[in-house]
Chain A
């Protein structure tokens, strides 16, 4: 208590405050810079580069292939599944078969190597999202995944709980913690 009282009686030192302002400013600049680079990195607009330059715009947009043709489990399982490279070759054995990117597919197929796609849509590990239930309610893929048919490389998204809850509330869907998402 005495120390506090002593300080109170001291005259204000303008220099000390200025130093503090300087440090705070510096930290602010660093933090702001970090946040800008973290959330708006230069390449954020076009999404992550994938091992094969696959374009959702061409397949889902121009060619108008149904999402479920490739993501075939989406209506009967929690996970939509990503197509085995075998499925790509159903068409690409004949369509632009000699394109260098299609040659990569042949390489994966011939060497029996799983294709290491980069994940673009994230859910935390303690959330159990069931695709089947949403598809059966006729919710379009785009409602959560965005207009994938207009994107070459998917931009991706980290889903947050508010995103789910907003829709669940609006539609009167299950809001129970375990029975809906967490267990």
Chain B
């Protein structure tokens, strides 16, 4: 072909291409409202205070509503439980209400198939069934519910009474029966007191995963970090004693890996040591004598042998604990080895011995979780359904078939023809699938209610959006079913108000409105007048810790543990929770089985290979994940996945470890058993790709996440105090070996950081603002709440398991997890987001200037300019840039959650953290309106807002008095891989570790 011809044809081609690109006017419509609600301004958010119902902790939330849609949930700063913070599960509330697999219309089962019916028809069916059943005699209508608020509980009881039946049974899979029983035996209170953890200086946990699921994780996260903060007088110390390292264990200063079920031995050893020091004065003499007798055999050596720990570790623990001014011993989480009850008993007794006044226990603000039925009572209830004449079972947001997966009798009970089962669930969970009728009720974000996670406070629930379905509130529905006329209240909202009035909490309407605006009333309720009284003696309770048969590597113990992401399984269908990897394994979507290298070596299974585990209850095939964070002889899997249906995100994802658990509860406490001895454990040798997001478990000496020893830090500080002008040893070293990995100085991303000797480009000018973030690694617990907040705020795509295996996850903020190469049990968490470098490697390599340096220091990524060369990602040393390989899907109505202030990126475009520039713009607008500059702390990115421990600080580096600027002067400040001369605007503060 001739050159001329080629040019002609090319010209024609481009004309026709240009012509075809001109599409017709998009048929966009602009709908006007019929009536304008008073609290809605298009383009501006309205915030509603409410209460999170994703777990029984009951954190206060503020729900952001834009044009009628709830798009984001943040913690309520006024709420005493969470103080404005929220966990990963709380952030995902909106994915429950907008879940594409939410059941939108009632379903009736006919010949094993679901048939949709109208709400009124379903209500009629249920009313008829209830009426017929109630006519037959007493206790013909029974109810199983999740933990609900006081108002709800009283109404349900009232309605069931009208139907001649007993009140509902409250089923919570994690109800901490052993803790409750131990509290009853030792303190005389069958409940769950709160802990004033922030006042302790030495904390010992016997496996309680209080940073993940235990009682109230957001609350205990901030309390723990208050206790663990670096203070002039020192730093609190935290020991975690458990056979596997949970996220909480990974945050401990010392993780003491005991054998499964032997935690009690350690505590008995500590009791002996304390008594020998003469502690426990003021306790009844008889009790002291009993304790002395019971703990007599627990010499340090014997204790260490029995618990399977190193005796030096035990002695270190004993010395530190007995030296402490305010020691606190927390109990167990789930029972991973049969020793939870003796351990909790011993822990309570040790608390008494160390501090007879129990000053760190808060018996006034007990956790509402104590109202859940014991597992044994739930099982009795389900058995009685078979035997009794019950005709109708109502199930409200409880999934016993999943939680009691190993108990085939539950399934039989629910499928029994004599019993009509109605589920009020919004999702096709394992229990709902067996029901005869599904009548979905409204979501907490669409309802009026009241739920207080602790005694002594009232926390209100109000609709934060219009209802997506005509589903009724469960209280309204129950009144419709139980009452013809003479309803106790016209609707459920009036019932809640009337109850609060009756209890003398809310006296007039203005009080109610004020409570709704605040999110509740936090000091209006008189606490229960119950005080602990130490027992006179505990004969018979303190049985010697049993020493099981010698360990058999072929028959390890298999334990199911609660998950920070899915709780007990109720979060399994939220795509963010599936997509954000587990903090410790960094595996998303899958449920691997964790074990020590020795455990897997015994069956010849390698990392990422399938193993088969069977117990007398069942069998599973799972991917082996080799880690040193589990004691040899133990296999651990987190619960929450492996649902039969539960929607597209939960289906075929992970495994339910509960199918391996023995169905019988513990005889002493009625607690469920979360461990079983493997009857069979074999490797298959079949590899299975793990959907993990970590490139490596160690840092390869690259100086990314750094630690500093407390003593060394103090020395540096003291030298600085004595002579501020004299450079510290470090700084002298810097001058000598500067610009090497070890000696590179901290260089702020400001014009004064410009050095012609090492900078190629001229400095950037900033007027007034240079945004920066300080990340305190000593406060970061790795909980990933920030990552979830980032997904919610910035419309980040969900890519799914297969794409994650290809390394294509989209998270703008990830928590990196690094193990110490020499001590793999030592873990450091490292939040990594765009470092907004002053000398950004992404900027000069882009052929179209899509990454652009703003005058406020941000590295703007201009989506519509990006042509997808991915050079920037290649050149970014932090690997924080994410490329849209596909057009990500938000199946309806999940797209309603998208933040209208942030572009939804399309295929072929690079994206990354923006420091939530949309929030910076809002602050700019407000400051301009008020003719002032943006105040310090006025801009709060989503990650900073939600961090339960306040590890993140955001602000303006140009302001020498801003908190970020002050923190950059901290002795611990450094920049991640600052030696590359990128001059990042994210400044990290080294994690402070204790010697040894």
Contacts and interface: CB of A to CB of B under 8 A. Distances in A.
Interface of A: 4, 7, 20, 24, 27, 31, 34-35, 38, 73, 76-79, 81-87, 108-109, 112-119, 122, 124-126, 128, 130-133, 136, 176-179, 182-183
A114 B34 contact: yes
Given A7-B2, A38-B24, A77-B44, A179 B856 contact: yes
A125 B901 CA distance: 10
Interface string B851-881: 0101110101011100000000000000000
Contacts of B32: 82-85, 114-115, 117
A133 B904 CA distance: 23
A77 B29 contact: no
Contacts of B924: 179
B756 interface: no
Interface residues of B, number: 46
B728 interface: no
A114 B33 contact: yes
A179 B854 contact: yes
B19 A35 contact: yes
B925 A133 contact: yes
Contact of B29 (A119, A131, A136): A119
A41 to B, nearest CB: 10
B896 interface: no
A79 B854 CA distance: 25
* 5 cross-chain pairs, A with B, having the tightest CB-CB distances, nearest first: A79-B43, A77-B43, A78-B43, A114-B31, A84-B33
A84 B36 contact: yes
B8 A20 contact: yes
Interface in B872-907: 901-904
A131 B44 CA distance: 12
22 contacts: A27-B15, A73-B42, A76-B41, A77-B42, A77-B43, A78-B43, A81-B41, A82-B32, A84-B32, A84-B34, A109-B34, A114-B32, A114-B33, A115-B32, A117-B30, A117-B32, A118-B29, A119-B29, A128-B901, A130-B925, A131-B43, A179-B924
Given A81-B42, A179-B917, 5 more contacts: A24-B12, A114-B34, A115-B32, A130-B925, A177-B854
Interface core residue of B27, B28, B33 (most chain A CB under 10 Å): B33
A183 B903 contact: yes
Contacts of A24: 8, 12
Interface in B923-975: 924-925, 928-929
B42 A183 contact: no
Contacts, number: 128
A122 B24 CA distance: 13
A25 to B, nearest CB: 12
Given A73-B42, A76-B44, A178 B33 contact: no
Contacts of B1: 4, 7
B918 interface: yes
Nearest to B15: A31
Nearest to A110: B34
B549 interface: no
B31 A115 contact: yes
A108 B921 CA distance: 37
B696 interface: no
A73 B901 CA distance: 17
A104 B921 CA distance: 41
B293 interface: no
Given A79-B42, A124-B864, A112 B34 contact: yes
A102 to B, nearest CB: 15
B31 A116 contact: yes
A108 B33 CA distance: 10
Contacts of A86: 33-36
Interface in B4-58: 8, 12, 15-16, 19, 22, 24, 26-36, 41-44
Contacts of B28: 118-119, 122
Interface of B: 1-2, 8, 12, 15-16, 19, 22, 24, 26-36, 41-44, 852, 854-856, 858, 860, 862-864, 901-904, 914, 917-918, 920-921, 924-925, 928-929
A113 B43 CA distance: 21
Given A35-B19, A124-B864, A183-B914, A177 B925 contact: no
A126 B864 contact: yes
A84 B35 contact: yes
Main secondary structure of the interface of B (DSSP, over half): loop
Contact of A183 (B24, B34, B917): B917
Contacts of A79: 42-43
Contacts of A82: 30, 32
Given A24-B12, A79-B42, A179-B856, A116 B29 contact: yes
Contact of B863 (A112, A114, A116, A126): A126
B34 A117 contact: no
Nearest to A133: B925
B415 to A, nearest CB: 44
Given A77-B41, A176-B860, A183 B918 contact: yes
Contacts of A27: 12, 15-16
Given A77-B41, A81-B42, A178-B914, A113 B925 contact: no
A66 B99 CA distance: 43
A172 to B, nearest CB: 13
Contact of B860 (A20, A131, A177): A177
B13 to A, nearest CB: 11
Contacts of B902: 183
B43 A73 contact: yes
A38 to B, nearest CB: 6
A112 to B, nearest CB: 5
Contacts of A20: 8
Contacts of B904: 125
Given A84-B35, A117-B30, A182 B24 contact: no
Contacts of B852: 177
Contacts of A178: 854, 858, 860, 862, 914, 917
B43 A38 contact: no
A38 B25 CA distance: 9
A47 to B, nearest CB: 12
Contacts of B24: 38
A179 B921 contact: yes
Contacts of B8: 20, 24
Nearest to A39: B22
B912 to A, nearest CB: 12
Contacts of B22: 35, 38
A84 B41 CA distance: 12
Nearest to B862: A177
Nearest to B915: A178
A176 to B, nearest CB: 5
A76 B929 CA distance: 10
Contacts of B34: 84-86, 108-109, 112-114
A136 B918 CA distance: 19
A28 B868 CA distance: 33
Given A114-B31, A136-B928, A176 B43 contact: no
Nearest to B18: A31
B30 A119 contact: yes
B16 A31 contact: yes
Contacts of A125: 903-904
A118 B26 CA distance: 10
Interface core residue of A4, A125, A179 (most chain B CB under 10 Å): A179
Nearest to B9: A20
Nearest to A121: B30
A73 B929 contact: no
A51 to B, nearest CB: 10
A179 B42 contact: no
Nearest to A31: B19
A81 B42 CA distance: 6
Nearest to A183: B917
Nearest to B27: A118
Interface core residue of B24, B860, B902, B921 (most chain A CB under 10 Å): B921
Contacts of A115: 31-32
Contacts of A122: 26, 28
